[in-house]
Amino acid sequence: MSFDTVDLLTGDIFQVSWDLGRRCNYDCSYCPVHRHDNFSPHATLQELKNSTDFLFKYMDTYLEHRTLKGASISFTGGEPTVNPNFIPFIEYLKKAYAEQYADRWDSSFALTSNGAMSKKMANAVIEHFHHITVSYHAESDDKLKKQVRDRILQFHEAMHSNPEGFFSVSVNVMFHAQYFDECVDLCRFLEKHSVKYVPRVIGEEPESPSDQAHRYNDAQIQWMKDYWNDKNAALNDPTPKDVQIESQHAVTQVNTEGKSEPKKLAMTIGRPCCGSREMCLSSQGDTRKSTFVNFRNFKGWHCSVNWFFLHLEQQTDSVYHHQTCQAKFDQTRGRLGKISEGDKIIDKLKEQLAAKEMPTVICPKQTCGCGLCAPKSAFKEKYFETLDRHIVDMSIFDNSKNEVSKVTPLIPGVNFEMDSDIL
């Protein structure tokens, strides 16, 4: 079955990913070269402050026109915490937000880290962030891995000592084929301590170089399938159980009597990012909920990625709508401009909004690592109908120069569930 519209049902806040730099205290064999090194200069505190000022002005401009006025700012790298300016920078960022924008929109701050940090640094993370995702890498030495496990428990204890729920932790277990049993043991360790986690296969993205993709043996593949099947079975069981379920939700269908009923659980196979958001996929009057679809060809679709996402890459002084698609308004891929020249980006945006010439993004990618990051449609009219749920005043598009209205319909027979043989 084909579909022509994808809409976000939940998690529709403005998502910012901020790559603070390439420096990292790890050297994982599967990490892309452009994501880490041990020699790049750290961003200075002033550079980070300037980037903060641009980011808040940019988000404020967009959020003024959004129905839901909320933002999530997530920091990644490299390893963000190795920058000696990291804590002073976070303190400045939160102060700047509190003084100028807190009464205009809500924000939360998240961090992705390898967890190889001191107890003192961990305390600072707990104080300044709402959430941390710890990526566990089995290639490091035993002493370092013990330190990471200690930090995970420290974060988890902090989460439970705060009844208001202002801090949380989850773990991405990077399932290294050569350390597979160790990764399994870690999952059991996390389950024992009731820590949320997601087993992540390495090199599952369509564009991953072959030398970065792990070749799992049959037993390892079966373990991964059994893991998700067990989680799915637990989710289908109406009896309450103390289980950790991450990134998979029930798929529903409309039966012959017009009632919604469970069909099958979508398995995301360890993709806790964009694909884990609840989606509504519509076609010919049929509506289903899913977290992931096994179809990623959205080239030529109208996409609202600019209304939901922004990516800053501090190392290259670059601003993108989205880290993966890098979509621009002119149907090409690339950066919107330089962070250091952010005023030009904001001025252009304000001009378009004032003149009611806000363009729409036309997806430039044949394939996408997430595919469902923002509301999108094959048809312009339906796209605007979808976007109307998120925009205060649709008149900002009245004089849009983008006249592309239709693309070739999608291939019929799309499967809405994750293929069990994805691995």
Q: Which fold has domain 12-248+304-370?
A: TIM Barrel (3.20.20)
Residues comprising the chain, all counted: 423
pLDDT in tens, the chain (423 residues): 456 777 766 567 899 999 999 999 998 888 887 788 888 999 999 999 999 999 999 999 999 999 999 999 999 999 999 999 999 999 999 999 999 999 999 999 999 999 999 999 999 999 999 999 999 999 999 999 999 999 999 999 998 887 565 899 999 999 999 999 999 999 999 999 999 998 888 875 444 555 555 788 889 988 887 887 777 566 555 444 443 333 333 333 333 454 444 444 333 333 434 444 555 665 444 455 544 454 557 788 899 999 999 999 999 999 999 988 899 999 899 999 999 999 999 999 999 999 999 999 998 887 655 556 788 888 888 899 889 989 999 999 988 765 544 444 444 433 333 322 222
Give the global pTM: 0.83
Q: Where are the domains of the chain?
A: 12-248+304-370
